[in-house]
């Protein structure tokens, strides 16, 4: 990556302790394990994987909303630099202005007792970013207009809106503090397909207009292919492959990535029936298998895979993956 990254995860791990017995060490969940990732300014960076792979936890750790057990997350926008593991209260308050989250469910994320104006204005008031109600109203109207909400919408309550309109309200609330980094966690998953495209196009337009950087978390690879310029594939808390979107979709190297991409529905009759079915369930993060974490489901696993965990290595320009046999399998 030639451009200096806006946000970087270095050997990042997030573990959650579980209740255990009185004797012996307490068990814990390895939600994220030794992740390294760099996101360039202005990027629309996709993060994909099955449910339970650690995508949401990684996104929250990069917002300082999940505990960092090991490693660190570094933020550098050219004006301020933060180490998220060592943020004081003042620095954390300022980082909250610069990094925001768009929630998955627009129905659950909005208070039914607040008007749209008050919902969007809440971050400004909580963070003390405006000095008067008039200034707050002006900022709310400006960001609402960017999200295709008019003045009449601001007077209403969330129940009066459709799912797509509610998500636009959620987006406006996330943008009103003037952030530079946005985590969009399954932000269109709860919407009808016909509405998804409208929200995705809005996000892309806002990104270009405001110079934002997105971490776009999704299980829908067809959506990721449409909006993202770079993609990371996650499995059981680890990154298994990262590459520019075109590179990943045209030439996936990791068996897990290949299986995910093969499951995307195709209109070509010749492609039907070619999906690589993943056998079994993703293992528990409290008791991950030894060696490669994908070896329990991988049809190409050999003895080495069962004892030695592969590290991310270069497979080309900006293309990295963690697989012992990727060069052998490239010809298959």
Model pLDDT for residues 210-263, shown as the tens digit of each residue: 999 999 999 889 899 989 999 999 999 999 999 999 999 999 999 999 999 988
Model pLDDT for residues 64-103, shown as the tens digit of each residue: 999 999 999 999 999 999 999 999 999 999 999 999 999 8
Asked whether the predicted pLDDT for residue 25 surpasses 90, the reply is: no
pLDDT band for position 24 (cuts 50, 70, 90): low
Residues 6+ apart with CB under 8 A from 282: 50, 51, 52, 53, 235, 236, 297
pLDDT at 191: 82
pLDDT at 172: 96
Identify how many contiguous H helices and E strands the chain contains and give both numbers.
13, 12
pTM: 0.91
Asked whether the predicted pLDDT for residue 266 surpasses 90, the reply is: no
> Are 58 and 36 spatial neighbours (Cβ–Cβ below 8 Å)?
no
What domains are defined for the chain?
7-228 (3.40.50.300), 252-332 (no CATH)
Residues 6+ apart with CB under 8 A from 261: 221, 249, 252
| Mean of pLDDT over the chain | 91
Model pLDDT for residues 286-323, shown as the tens digit of each residue: 889 999 999 999 999 999 999 999 999 999 889 999 99
pLDDT at 290: 95
CA distance 214 to 99: 10
């Amino acid at each position: 990556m030639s451009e200096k990254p806006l946000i970087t995860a270095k050997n990042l791990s997030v573990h959650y302790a579980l209740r255990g017995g009185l004797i012996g060490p307490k068990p814990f969940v390895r939600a994220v394990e030794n992740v390294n990732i760099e996101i360039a300014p202005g990027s629309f960076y996709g993060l994909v994987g099955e449910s339970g792979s650690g995508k949401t936890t990684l996104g929250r750790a990069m917002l300082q909303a999940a505990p960092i057990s090991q490693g660190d997350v570094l933020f550098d926008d050219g004006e301020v630099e933060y180490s998220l593991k060592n943020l004081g209260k003042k620095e954390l308050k300022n980082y909250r202005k610069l990094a925001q989250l768009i929630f998955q469910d627009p129905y659950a994320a909005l208070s039914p007792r607040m008007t749209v104006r008050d919902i969007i204005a809440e971050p400004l008031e909580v963070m003390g970013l405006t000095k008067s109600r008039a200034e707050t109203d002006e900022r709310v109207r400006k960001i609402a207009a960017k999200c295709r909400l008019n003045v009449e919408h601001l007077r209403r309550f969330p129940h009066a809106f459709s799912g797509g309109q509610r998500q636009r309200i959620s987006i406006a609330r996330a943008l009103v503090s003037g952030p530079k980094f946005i985590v969009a966690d399954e932000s269109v998953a709860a919407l009808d397909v016909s509405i998804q495209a409208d929200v995705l196009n809005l996000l892309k337009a806002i990104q270009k207009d405001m110079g934002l950087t997105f971490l776009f978390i999704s299980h829908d690879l067809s959506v990721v292919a449409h909006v993202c310029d770079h993609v990371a594939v996650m499995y059981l808390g680890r990154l298994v492959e990262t590459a520019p979107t075109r590179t990943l979709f045209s030439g996936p190297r990791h068996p897990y990535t290949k299986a995910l991409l093969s499951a995307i529905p195709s209109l070509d009759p010749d492609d039907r029936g070619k999906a690589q079915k993943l056998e079994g369930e993703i293992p528990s993060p409290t008791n991950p298998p030894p060696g490669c974490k994908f070896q329990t489901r991988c049809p190409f696993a050999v003895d080495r895979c069962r004892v030695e965990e592969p590290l991310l290595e270069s497979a080309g320009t900006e293309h990295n993956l963690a697989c012992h046999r990727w060069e052998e399998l490239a010809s298959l």
